[in-house]
Structure 1
Amino acid sequence: MSAAVLEAYRDLPKLVRDANLIPAWSSDGKTLGFVAGAPDARQAWRVDLTSGDKTPLLDVQRVRDALKAATGVTPPGAGLPFEAFGFVGPDMIAFAIGADRFMLDLNRFLVIRPPAPNMIDTMFGQSAEARMTPRTFKRSLPMVGQVDAYEVMSPDGRNLLSIQDYNVSLRSAYDGRTQALTTDGTREVEWTIDWAFPGMPPVTNWSPQGTHVAAYMVDNRGVPEVLSMHNLGNFEHSSRYYFPKAGGVLESHRLFVLDVMGNPPVEIQLGDTRDHYPVFVGWLPDGSELVVLQMSRDCRRIDVFAASAITGAVRKLFSEEGKTFVRIHHDIYFNRKLGCSLTPDGRHLLWQSERDGWNHLYQYDLDGRLEAQLTSGDWPVTAVERVIGGHVYFSAHCDRKRPYDLHLCRVALGGGTVEQLTEGEGVHRVSFAPNGETFLDTYSSVSAPPVTALRRVDGSVLNAELLRADITPLVDVGYTASEEFCVKAADGETELWGVMYKPHDFDAGKRYPVIEWIYGGPQITIAEHGFPALPGRANIGMRLAQLGCIAIMLDARGTPERNKAFHDTAAEDFQGTVTADHAAALRQLAERHAYIDLDRVGVTGGSWGAYFGFRCLIDQPEVYKAATVFAPGFDPLSCVLYECYLGFPQTNPDGYRKADIFAMAPRLDRPLMIAGGTADHATWPDAIKMTEALIRAGKDHEFVVLPDQVHGFGSVHQDYLDNKQAAFFRRHLGF
């Protein structure tokens, strides 16, 4: 396989132009703008949001000339030298070229360069830009430790919210000075706030009036600590992280309302929250109450409350209880996929429940009365996207024949007919205009590049093709389309869906080894049913295939986004059906396709994928001939994330015994490579324990050390590991 092809595929999204439209919505709601095209032909477009007509926004050469006149420098290339812009007036746009910011008068083609802030003002944080720009700070994430987050501006624009020295802090947008809202935070008892990662919905701890903040006091006393080692500096040092173990002491979260005027914190009266997860959901529009849910530690019960912001008194609205998990740890702990949201008017709660066997929407009033089941049928809702007017807009897998296609739908508040607003096979991702009158629909499939359409809020088409992705660079490098497949699970009945990726020079007359990228955990699906050159996990499969193999990604029983019974396969025995389903899928694919060589099958995976990669070698050695595993989550006793599925070691010792992978080390009879980052406090100990178990069992294996890397690897280390894994598979699978 050509080294140049492999190198090109390392940055696959760059080989697909215009896969994502970056919208610029005008403030008057009449216009959409965006930039598209190859660098030397990049153009800006204006779209009339009434008619859908698309016309050039500006004369590219005049913009380039104006930039040269303003800066004295000829812009690079031949097209627009920027990829996105925003409207700052009806005929004025703002954009950046590198670190430089500009505005452009569209009528006069005059480039305006905002004056640089005074150096002294900037140095002391007194310039308007310095005061108003959110700064980074360190916040604690359960089991992860300190991560970067950005301050969030209050609704009234007066203050920015953060955590400083374990306490909640405000920074004035007027003079840049800080004010501590709490003063009793320590490393053991710290204050924290909900936050969002890039790409996730924003979390609004601020009350709508900007007068109060919802915050947690987290008591870590008694929670075990783990170490993260750092060896690359002149002096070695370690970092400590609280890391609750399955069945052990769990941190306690108490929820408070803080007053920006300095009045004493008001505790939300949830009682003893130890062994529960209280989660702030949102504020009522008038700021009088906030909605809170509290999930039991085993994930089998959730209580939903309304709480007074003045007194902290709570009133229970409703409860949801199940024989297995109602929500899963990852969704509550990390992702804020709460399945609970307030309507903008504050009169209703939208609740997702699998009580009838599928994930559907239920509407409650603020007294806790069930008003309506909004959706029903043999298909699941995935998320509420917006509430606009009298309708709830939500994404769903509503095509029964293609269970992983994703569409936008809507239903009236109070109930009614569900309308599917997007059509066509594949995955539809939507972006609403700020005024809610139109939305962008970007859709693709595993073999069809993205197309972006513009639709009215009722789903009718304004422009069927605002933008179509250009895969010419990908084709020039070499490209073979990916392929969806459907097979039966090991039970011979349940449908499983996956994606097959082929080398760029695929020849159906040849026989190819197979490398499967596995995760297997109950938290996520990993087979990407959109186009593989979009950012995401599909890139992994496409890159693997360029080694000269068939790459496979599959979602077996126990994974989400199907029905409750499908997901519940992970309950009590989360590993039970995974490897059998994956092996059954490969056997069926080999029967269908002569180019698949079932005698040369490898598997790779990280985190829980490392667990199941190892289990594939142990459980299905007749199928899997070699494995590489990285950042391995081998030990089910290592953290509370397993409790959602296995319960507690004290009450389900047999489940934990069956999941004990270290005891299986003597059964290893296939080549194995383990890789881990030395600073990964979550899984580095698991990697060490497994290699010790293999040494004691006399089992040869490879161990790759990635210095000072955490649970995800930097680009240099990832490239190094990719090369090591490629050499490993070529050696042991014979290609």
Structure 2
Amino acid sequence: MTVRRSSRALALILLCASAAAQAAPDEAAFRRSIGLRRAWQDLTREVAWPAHWTPDGRRFSYRKTVAGGFVFETVDAKTLAKSPAFDTAKLAAALGNARHEAVDPMHLPFAEFDYAEDGKAIAFSLDETRWQCGIVVYRCEAAVDRSRPRGFGVVRDISVPADNSPKASPDGNWTAFVQGDNLVVRKTGDTAIVPISVDGSAGNFYDPETLRWSPNSRHIMIYRVRPGYQRRVLRVESSPRDQLQPKLQSQLYPKPGDAIDQERPVLFDLASRRQTVIDDALFPNAYELSAPRWRSDGRSVAFDYVRRGFGQARIVAVDAETGVAHAAVTEDAKTFVYADRRYAHEVGADGREIVWASERDGWNHLYLIDGRTGAVKNRITTGNWVVRDVIAVDDAKRQIVFAASGMNTGEDPYFRHVYRIDFDGRHPTALTPAKADHDVRFSPDGSLYVDTYSRVDLPTVSELHRSSDGALVATITRGDDSALRAAGFRRPEVFVAKARDGRTDIWGVVVRPHDYDPSKRYPVIENIYAGPHDSFVPKQYWPFGFHSGGDKAIGMQEQADLGFIVVQIDGMGTANRSKAFHDVAWKNLADSGFPDRIAWHRAMAAKDPSYDIGRVGIYGASAGGQSTLNALLFHGDFYKVGVAYAGCYDNRMDKISWNEQWLGWPVDASYAAASGVDHAAQLTGKLLMIVGDQDSNVDPASTMQVADALIRAGKDFELLAVPGGEHSVGRSTGPIDYVARRQFGFFVRELAGEAVPNWNGVK
């Protein structure tokens, strides 16, 4: 059959093809886009990070942006005089010597630090290691953790010896340790060892790392442990940098449903040698027991308990004389207790009262609990808003300082503000009036605080305030991004639309190209992270590593500048809203808030003609990688292209801690319901999966199992396995970021329908 086209139609087709070719990003555009981090990172001034106080409370320090990079500055709280926090050149040299690498003094690889050794040193985290550097004598050392490793906190690695350093009694008369799996003591200055227990064994041993003396030196509590299943994930390191042949890496990695360590608290009376195994009726089937903590009066010892499946959390208190346990406070949930957000403060020396955070009324609030009966004495906070964090509790004044969000009507419900309130819920006082997200740091005596606040459209402001009445003492820094905006940076836009229920507000941000033209149509890319453990749309000033979300932000701007509108959204199932909002994720990880996200996209497209709702792509990493794949599997009519990084695509393959928190225990059909492996045959869009073959967070076999399922289903997809890559896969050290270029090129080719540079032809 012959198809005839008119000369006019043919000319139109050729004209459109020519226009598309001219619009396609070239090599220079890719290089400019991926180079934005380096080109723009030093263009702001006076953008400050949160403050850290010296131990004596006389000064505070912070990092801020200056010409050429960052500096750390110290302010005298009384005189307001400013000076360098330390000699950055000397510290960079000391850190470089310790790490055997060059360190740029204007770009020190940490943003915040704590003071140590009475202000003579600073401590900070770098590459999951805690470092300490002297700032009088400049020398840096990595902290050495001598404790026995635990797989995600629930299975001890019994191939590694525990830290069995003798622990001295508070009165100095005894030391206690474990010998031959049993508890023993030794009188100070004596060589004779006194056995205290005889029932320990290799399969049911006393753990010296849980040993705790009572303040009066009369009692010891220690846990006897029946070890769990020693599951190992094996990874072949194909391309090690220090040898030719591959290496085999092994990691203790418990997964959902695995047998975990069973801990049993045991109480010993030193004088009588009486042993009391604590009745576990109040803490059966424990997922987590915290280390024992003695009340300061020595009459009782307490520990935190989370039931496996996360349906219950409580504080269990044990009488030191009788060994009888009681529930000091209990939290029950029909779905889950969010274990990482639990908060408890025991008032006084005996735990008679407890300040307790609870979602029992549908919002996270504070309650004053009777620590003897577990009953609520009174509510401290109330309302349709969320307590985000407890900053300080003053037992003497019976006051609490806390951060909350959602209290101010007409404002972004995720903005954190700080308040003070009495134990009885009276005299609530707002301390942070500015309409922004606040990070407040109080002096050690609580008399002053530094309020560091910002929004995505407001560079950071840092102020010193008086705590008694919140009065402003001085403005410390005021961020300026005029040079950054002159270079082409567009501040993100905030957009709000209704959720699937037509009532709840869903918040997101929009990033546009630096040369955005409202008369054009732009394909859309969504940056997704829908993990239930937090909310993720940045609320702070965020371009290039400023506070949380900075790394994701630069990726969004980099992609936008290749001709896209890039967005980020918090749908239902994420945290920091009501309990009902959060509960959408319970046993429902496939949801990822997609009905809310799609409604948000459609509302945005209805408002903005440049927003091409017919070309929507998505990308994400880790849980965001799982959501990206599920977008294409379960919502392929809407999401057309996806790039999924290091996804936990089948929650039965992933770490025990994160997955049992949201899908419960025992493992049930909800795990399979969210599986990208089980539903791989539903793929309709274009997919690129990227994984580091040395991922220690998510078993990289999860990615390969999706690949296997897609192949068996006859589906086409792309796969990039990065040799030596970790969970973040990492940005390349080459002349242009390889992994980012592959992601960006995939969207340009498959979503925008444009040609990409022939990188194999580039020298």
After TM superposition, the structure 1 stretch with the greater mean CA deviation from structure 2, 34-43 or 591-600, is: 34-43
Structural RMSD (CA) = 4.5
In structure 2, the residue matched to 1:395 is: 403
165, 175, 197: which one aligns with 1:169:
165
Distance in 1 separating the partners of 2:264 and 2:371: 23
Distance in 2 separating the partners of 1:251 and 1:423: 48
Distance in 2 separating the partners of 1:610 and 1:44: 39
Distance in 2 separating the partners of 1:476 and 1:213: 65
In structure 2, the residue matched to 1:158 is: none
Q: How does 1:274-423 map to 2 (within 5 A)?
A: 274-280=285-291, 282-308=293-319, 313-328=324-339, 331=340, 337-343=341-347, 346-367=351-372, 368-388=374-394, 389-397=397-405, 398-401=407-410, 402-423=412-433
SS at match of 1:450: strand
SS at match of 2:749: helix
In structure 1, the residue matched to 2:31 is: 3
SS at match of 2:679: helix
Change (3 A) 1:364 1:94: closer
Change (3 A) 1:574 1:84: closer
In structure 2, the residue matched to 1:713 is: 729
Distance in 2 separating the partners of 1:544 and 1:442: 25
SS at match of 1:700: coil
Amino acid at match of 1:396: A
Amino acid at match of 1:613: T
Distance in 2 separating the partners of 1:87 and 1:275: 36
1:642 aligns with 2:659: yes
Preserved CA contact (<8 Å) 1:167 1:181: no
Distance in 2 separating the partners of 1:260 and 1:465: 57
Post-superposition CA distance 1:266-320 (Å, at most 9, x none): 8655357545322348543345433322222121122321135677542222322
Preserved CA contact (<8 Å) 1:289 1:306: yes
Identify unmatched segments of 5+ residues in structure 1.
Answer: 68-75, 104-112, 117-128, 149-162, 173-178, 196-203, 332-336
Post-superposition CA distance 1:425-475 (Å, at most 9, x none): 221011111111111111111110111111222351233521122435633
Q: How does 1:120-199 map to 2 (within 5 A)?
A: 135-137=144-146, 139-143=148-152, 165-169=161-165, 181-183=177-179
Question: 1:358, CA displacement in angstroms?
Answer: 0.8
In structure 2, the residue matched to 1:731 is: 749
Question: 1:702, CA displacement in angstroms?
Answer: 0.9
1:704 aligns with 2:720: yes
Change (3 A) 1:257 1:579: farther
Q: How does 1:420-431 map to 2 (within 5 A)?
A: 420-431=430-441
Distance in 1 separating the partners of 2:642 and 2:386: 34
Preserved CA contact (<8 Å) 2:540 2:547: no
Question: 1:39, CA displacement in angstroms?
Answer: 5.8
1:19 aligns with 2:47: yes
Post-superposition CA distance 1:553-585 (Å, at most 9, x none): 111111111111111112243334622222221
Preserved CA contact (<8 Å) 2:45 2:481: yes
Post-superposition CA distance 1:78-116 (Å, at most 9, x none): 9x9x999999999x98899x999565xxxxxxxxx69x9
Amino acid at match of 1:226: V
1:540 aligns with 2:552: yes
In structure 1, the residue matched to 2:248 is: 237
Change (3 A) 1:551 1:94: same
66, 69, 79: which one aligns with 1:38:
66
In structure 2, the residue matched to 1:669 is: 684
1:560 aligns with 2:572: no
Change (3 A) 1:37 1:235: closer
Question: 1:626, CA displacement in angstroms?
Answer: 0.5
Preserved CA contact (<8 Å) 1:442 1:450: yes
SS at match of 1:673: strand
Change (3 A) 1:600 1:217: farther
Question: 1:636, CA displacement in angstroms?
Answer: 2.8
Amino acid at match of 2:401: Y
Distance in 2 separating the partners of 1:712 and 1:77: 25
Amino acid at match of 1:229: V
In structure 1, the residue matched to 2:634 is: 619
In structure 1, the residue matched to 2:228 is: 221
Question: 1:508, CA displacement in angstroms?
Answer: 3.0
Preserved CA contact (<8 Å) 1:244 1:251: no
Question: 1:217, CA displacement in angstroms?
Answer: 5.7
Change (3 A) 1:432 1:269: farther
Question: 1:620, CA displacement in angstroms?
Answer: 2.0
Distance in 1 separating the partners of 2:471 and 2:384: 28
Change (3 A) 1:184 1:30: same
Change (3 A) 1:423 1:268: farther
Preserved CA contact (<8 Å) 1:500 1:553: yes
Preserved CA contact (<8 Å) 1:255 1:278: no
After TM superposition, the structure 1 stretch with the greater mean CA deviation from structure 2, 267-276 or 550-559, is: 267-276
Distance in 1 separating the partners of 2:511 and 2:209: 38
In structure 2, the residue matched to 1:478 is: 488
Preserved CA contact (<8 Å) 2:47 2:65: no
Amino acid at match of 1:585: W
Query: How many residues were matched structurally?
Result: 656
Post-superposition CA distance 1:356-403 (Å, at most 9, x none): 111110111331342211000110111211113321111111224321
Distance in 2 separating the partners of 1:648 and 1:95: 42
612, 619, 623: which one aligns with 1:604:
619
Preserved CA contact (<8 Å) 2:229 2:259: yes
- Give the TM-score taking structure 2 as reference length: 0.74
Change (3 A) 1:535 1:95: closer
After TM superposition, the structure 1 stretch with the greater mean CA deviation from structure 2, 358-367 or 704-713, is: 704-713
In structure 1, the residue matched to 2:740 is: 722
Identify unmatched segments of 5+ residues in structure 2.
Answer: 1-28, 92-103, 124-130, 169-174, 182-200, 755-763
Distance in 2 separating the partners of 1:694 and 1:89: 56
After TM superposition, the structure 1 stretch with the greater mean CA deviation from structure 2, 433-442 or 34-43, is: 34-43
Distance in 1 separating the partners of 2:297 and 2:702: 49
Preserved CA contact (<8 Å) 1:517 1:605: yes
Distance in 2 separating the partners of 1:95 and 1:648: 42
457, 462, 482: which one aligns with 1:447:
457
Task: From the CA coordinates, give the structure whose radius of gyration is larger.
Answer: 2
Distance in 2 separating the partners of 1:226 and 1:6: 34
Distance in 2 separating the partners of 1:408 and 1:672: 44
SS at match of 1:3: helix
Change (3 A) 1:184 1:288: farther
Question: 1:696, CA displacement in angstroms?
Answer: 0.4
After TM superposition, the structure 1 stretch with the greater mean CA deviation from structure 2, 288-297 or 268-277, is: 268-277
Preserved CA contact (<8 Å) 2:646 2:692: yes
Preserved CA contact (<8 Å) 2:523 2:611: yes
Change (3 A) 1:265 1:578: farther
After TM superposition, the structure 1 stretch with the greater mean CA deviation from structure 2, 631-640 or 16-25, is: 16-25
Amino acid at match of 1:373: R
Preserved CA contact (<8 Å) 1:307 1:315: yes
Question: 1:487, CA displacement in angstroms?
Answer: 0.9
Identity over aligned pairs, percent? 27
In structure 1, the residue matched to 2:9 is: none
Distance in 2 separating the partners of 1:592 and 1:297: 47
Post-superposition CA distance 1:180-220 (Å, at most 9, x none): 9335579987888999xxxxxxxx98977999998766544
Amino acid at match of 1:625: K
